[in-house]
Each structure stands twice: as C-alpha cells, then as structure tokens.
Amino acid sequence: MKDWNPANLGIIIALLVLLGLNAVVIINPGQAGVLSILGKARDGALLEGIHFKAPFVSRVDIYDLTVQKFEVPAQSSTKDLQDLTARFAINFRLDATEVVEVRRKQGSLQNIVSKIIAPQTQESFKIAASRRTVEEAITQREVLKSDFDDALSKRLEKYGIIVLDTSVVDLDFSPEFAQAVEEKQIAEQRAQRAVYVAREAEQEALAEVNRAKGKAEAQRLLAETLKDQGGKLVLQKEAIEAWRKGGSQMPRVLISGSGKDNGQVPFLFNVNADSKG
C-alpha cells in the first residue's frame, strides 16, 4: 500500500468508463445496426434500443432505414430505335431484415447507390423503353413509368432495397425527333383547320338551300293568293313595281275604279303631267 498512488484511481476509473462505453451501442429509431466481431458480420440486425458488444474487438455499423432519395440518369433506345434519355428521382429505404446482407455484400450506402441502384435503374429503363416507340413513351409517360417501377422494384428487392416511389424528373429525345414532332403537330393543326372550314362551308350551303326553299314556298303562297283574287292583285302589284322602278319620288296620282270586287283594272292618272299641258 506504500506504493499506492491516488492518481492511479483516476486512471482506473477512466479505463472502466472507456470500457463501458465501448461495450454499449444505442440504436435510434429509424436505424439498424450490424454487429461485426473481428471483422466478421454476425447474423441478426440490431434494432432500436441499447445493445452490448465485446469491447475493442467488435464494431457496429449503423444503417439509416428512413426514406432515401437519389436522382439517377438513364439512357435507352425505343422500339423504333430512337434515343431516349431520362433522369429518375428514386425514393427507397433499406429492409431492416436484410441489412446484414447489405453490409456483407455492398458495405456503405454510397456503394448501394453506385453499384446497385444506378445500374439496375439503367436496365429497368431499357426494359420499359423498348416496349414502345418514342412517341408512345412521350404521350404515355405514366405507362412508361409503371413498367419502369415494376422492373426496378423486382430487381432491387433481392438486394434488400424497397422502392417506395419514383418520378420522371426529365425525359429527352433527339433533336431530329423533336423537329419531326413539331412538324407533325403543325400538319395536324392545318388538317383540323381544313375540316373546320369544310364544315363551315357545308353549313353555309345548307343555310342557302333552306333560304331558297323558304323563298320558293313564299312565292308559291303568293301565286296561290293572287290566283284566288282573279288576277286583280297581279295588275296592282305590277303597277306598284313599275312605279318603284321609275324613281324614288312619290307621284301625285288619282286612282279610280268602279267597285271593290268587280275585277276592273285601277286607273292611274298623273296630276302633275296633266296640269302642265
């Protein structure tokens, strides 16, 4: 006891604290840990809570199980051999029951993205794009995305990666096809305009026919009316038309007749002309 140094007590306490900290690991919600002893991963993921491990000879790699998002480019040829490029935003998370295999085969999250998700995204896009023409890929984007989602989910599932959602951030095609699409749209607009003009002309012609039919019917009724009056109204109508064609000035005339219904022709006498003579 003569050689006992009180400072040694502090060293012992520090070693015990260090040993205790190294023997305990805390896994937070949304995380999973993989325990490795002497570099060998042990089966069974460590889920949230406090876990004990052998100090100094073991380590715990912690993986984030919350939703991760990465944008991945892809390129493919369509069924009609047109180049199509895209960029996908992929939301995914790791399967907690598979993190040990992820640790053994892939290692870090960066490796998962670069070695698994990126190439599988490329292959899945090739599958989806090869089923349709470039025009169908553009006009049926939701169908293209659905095929891509199915292919990607099946391919990543075996790696312990769960695809939650994908979205097409960008979808591009060759400049030559872009020009062809524009020319086709212009041609379709012209065709639609021609159809509209043709329909308008057809409606106008139909209106003319209806107006002609109405005029003919009116003339027929007028002829029947004049015929019923025994010809008297015909002569009166002709006298009025002759006056209208002669000028716009109202003539001063005397109209004489011998009765209402005796059929005699009315006599028009120009007062001004007589008075001058």
- pLDDT, averaged across the chain: 78
Angle at 126 between CA 120 and CA 127, to 5 degrees: 90
pLDDT of residue 17: 61
pLDDT of residue 275: 46
pLDDT one-digit tens code per residue, 111-166: 999 999 999 999 999 999 999 888 888 888 889 899 999 999 999 998 999 999 99
pLDDT of residue 232: 58
Q: Read off the DSSP letter of residue 107.
A: -
Q: Beta-carbon neighbour count of residue 168 at 10 Å?
A: 16
Structure tokens at 212: 């002609």
Q: Could you give the CA distance from residue 62 to residue 38 in angstroms, rounded to a whole number?
A: 17
pLDDT of residue 276: 46
pLDDT of residue 198: 72
Structure tokens at 26: 């805390």
Q: Could you give the CA distance from residue 86 to residue 149 in angstroms, rounded to a whole number?
A: 14
Q: Could you give the CA distance from residue 84 to residue 78 in angstroms, rounded to a whole number?
A: 7
pLDDT one-digit tens code per residue, 221-274: 767 766 665 555 555 666 666 666 665 454 555 454 555 555 454 545 454 554
Note the pTM of the prediction, 2 decimals.
0.56
Q: Could you give the CA distance from residue 205 to residue 22 in angstroms, rounded to a whole number?
A: 96
